[in-house]
Amino acid sequence: MSNKMWGGRFTSAPDAIMEEINASIGFDQRLYAQDIAGSKAHAAMLAAQGIIAAEDAQKIQDGLDTILSEIEAGSFTFRRELEDIHMNVESRLAELIGASAGRLHTARSRNDQVATDFRLYVRDTVDALDAQLADLQKALAEKALANAATVMPGFTHLQTAQPVTFGHHLMAYVEMTARDRSRLKDARARLNECPLGSAALAGTSFPIDREATASALGFARPTANSLDAVSDRDFVMETLSAASICAVHLSRFAEEVVIWTSPSFGLVKLSDAFTTGSSIMPQKRNPDAAELVRAKAGRIIGALTGILVVMKGLPLAYAKDMQEDKEGAFDALSALSLVVAASAGMVRDLTPDAERMKAAAGQGYSTATDLADWLVRALNIPFREAHHITGRIVGIAAEKGLALEDVPLADMKAVDARINDDVYSVLSVECSVNSRVSYGGTAPSQVRTQAERWLKLLNGE
Q: Label residues 337-367 b or e (16+ Cβ within 10 Å = b).
A: bebbebbbbbbbbbebbeebbbebbbebbbb
Cis previous bond, 317, omega within 30: yes
Could you tell me which of 249, 270, 436 has the C-alpha nearest to residue 347?
270
The full DSSP string for 1-62 is --BTTTBTT--SPPPHHHHHHH--HHHHGGGHHHHHHHHHHHHHHHHHTTSS-HHHHHHHHH
Confirm whether 86 is a catalytic residue: no
Query: 3: which strand partners?
Result: 7
Neighbours of 293 (CB within 10 A): 27
Intra-chain end-to-end CA distance of the chain, in Å: 66
List 69, 182, 278, 425, catalytic entry: 278
Between vectors from CA 316 to CA 314 and to CA 322, what angle results, nearest 5°?
Answer: 50
Maximum Cα–Cα distance across the chain? 103
**Identity of the residue numbered 402:** L
445 catalytic residue (yes or no): no
CA distance 368 to 160: 11
What is residue 206's DSSP assignment?
S
Print burial letters for 28-41: b (CB count within 10 Å at least 16), e (below 16): bbebbebbbbbbbb
Catalytic residue among 12, 157, 205, 438: 157
Quickly list H helices, 265-382: 288-311, 326-349, 354-361, 368-379
Nearest to residue 61, comparing CAs of 28, 96, 106, 108? 96
Please identify every residue annotated as catalytic.
157, 278
